[in-house]
Chains A and B, each alone.
Chain A
């Protein structure tokens, strides 16, 4: 055996299979099954060590870290505005949210006001991102349940959202659109028209998805009554987002502690009743409609004004000023070379991501680079709920439960 294999075996031995047998019969043997890290149903590079008794899962231990890239460490080596692109790559389906949490924390430390137009533009893009993230979740989850066509339908609508992102920021993914103090650029002409077409279409598409899955007995029976976890366990494990709402707790930071003008909009928080996989599916599906409602209101009420803070110490001066104003040239030079300095302090800025509370902790030491950036990623915390969800269920339900948990490994490993 090569030393690599030897090490691998050693690492495997360090995992304790602490599951206890149901104890009905001595003849029932426990079997350990390794799922992943390269398995299409693990939604990324997630490795699960499942202890099985026959077909029943007695315990499951998630092993993560396969896509750990040290983004938090990298961020300490970059000036504040250069951190935005790297934190966006953490949870790669919620890049607007990552940027929003980070920028919010830095704005708190800088104590700057974000103009109302920028707040509305942020809301539009955050909610588009939520729709996009839920579409990827719905498509891939349906794929896990054996419904291939759902995947194509969901990705068709996702393309429209990505086209909109491309229109407003030039990028389809990891857009770097949200900046400290506002957004990178105002929306271009034609964006509103295209967005209105999309929000007009999206609820009808969501109806179609529901028709495809809700009236499909196989899908419904695989979801209903599986992976049930009660509210108290979820709260104890600090689980947030649609998983908590599926148990009937209407905890949503957009309502509870509104940020970025969310209190201006009229929307509802979908909640479930029993907290099974079906509720999780219904909650996320209903959120698609609510996000569309928010976008529509934000678009109707989009205020006039600047799209980024006029504070020249933080935001780049407009390009045309550089030719005429010495001040602007100096500010531009300072911002793109050193970046802005942030007064010492610590801030934790939580927002409601597609998977739950996404909080960014930033510690500033007075220099132009953050001394610590930590992302409280909802997938990381929510993954702890996997074992209580799948325990004493069938292995086939484990796949469905994992899909409904919606972990994003980029966010877990960071």
Chain B
């Protein structure tokens, strides 16, 4: 993990390339996070990739309800040579949940991006095969959002097959 100073240096370096790329930095419990502009996520990750963070360890979605913009996409980058991690966060709103796909930079992002789309409804533009992955294809709604209720999901039997989700009552 870069320390707080190192994180600021990274942020400044990225800002020098593009003034709008980094919105904020967070440093909490030794975890360094760059908050990136969602429109600039690809150049930011590409720059970090060039700095040695060549592996995308994980990608996850977060719903920051009730804070706006609500949705967040987090990229956990890993430098296997120096054994160093840095995370990049991009916040998008629920009204326009769009962000560029990074599958071109990290082929391993394909499934995780599909999962974030499935659970949070974030549309990854340029993703080769953006479909639901865990939920059924005809499922309505994005279950991991904080305002999506738990429970009450009807269990599909033959007698209630017609009334289940995705079908007219």
Binding site for B on A (CB under 8 A): 2-4, 7, 11, 14, 16, 64-65, 68, 70, 72-74, 76-77, 108-109, 111, 235-239, 251, 256-257, 345-348, 350, 357, 359, 361, 363, 371-372, 374, 376, 380-381, 383-384, 413-414
Contacts and interface: CB of A to CB of B under 8 A. Distances in A.
Given A65-B134, A73-B150, A236 B57 contact: no
B111 A77 contact: no
Contacts of A16: 129
Contacts of B146: 76, 371
A346 B33 contact: yes
A108 B29 contact: yes
A372 B111 contact: no
User: Which of A111, A345, A357, A372 has the largest number of chain B CB atoms within 10 A?
Assistant: A372
8 A-B pairs closest in CB distance? A238-B108, A376-B58, A65-B134, A374-B60, A237-B108, A68-B134, A345-B28, A236-B107
Majority-rule SS of A interface residues: mixed
Given A111-B29, A348-B58, A14 B108 contact: no
A381 B87 contact: no
13 contacts: A14-B131, A64-B133, A68-B135, A237-B108, A256-B80, A346-B31, A346-B74, A347-B31, A363-B62, A372-B62, A374-B58, A381-B108, A384-B111
A218 to B, nearest CB: 34
B55 A235 contact: yes
A347 B110 CA distance: 23
Interface string B83-111: 10101000000000000000000111111
User: Which of B55, B106, B162 has the largest number of chain A CB atoms within 10 A?
Assistant: B55
B135 A372 contact: no
B144 A381 contact: no
Contacts of B166: 7
A380 B108 contact: no
A75 to B, nearest CB: 11
Nearest to A374: B60
Contacts of B2: none
B56 A238 contact: yes
User: Which of A2, A73, A357 has the largest number of chain B CB atoms within 10 A?
Assistant: A73
A176 B30 CA distance: 28
A2 B138 CA distance: 16
B69 interface: no
B22 to A, nearest CB: 17
B72 to A, nearest CB: 9
Contacts of A65: 132-136
Given A64-B133, A348-B31, A348-B87, A359 B107 contact: no
A234 to B, nearest CB: 9
B107 A70 contact: no
A43 B55 CA distance: 28
A238 B54 CA distance: 10
B8 interface: no
A414 B143 CA distance: 13
Nearest to A4: B161
B60 A361 contact: yes
Interface string B105-123: 0111111100100010000
Given A77-B150, A251-B80, A380-B111, A238 B57 contact: yes
Given A238-B106, A257-B83, A384-B108, A109 B135 contact: no
Contacts of A363: 62
Contacts of B140: none
Contacts of A74: 150
B55 A238 contact: yes
Contacts of A72: 119, 144
A17 B162 CA distance: 30
A7 B133 contact: no
Contacts of A111: 29
Given A7-B138, A359-B57, A374-B60, A236 B106 contact: yes
Interface string B127-162: 001011111111000011010101000000000011
A236 B80 CA distance: 12
Given A70-B150, A359-B58, 18 more contacts: A2-B161, A3-B161, A3-B162, A7-B166, A11-B138, A64-B134, A65-B134, A73-B143, A73-B150, A74-B150, A76-B146, A238-B55, A238-B109, A239-B108, A350-B85, A361-B74, A380-B115, A383-B111
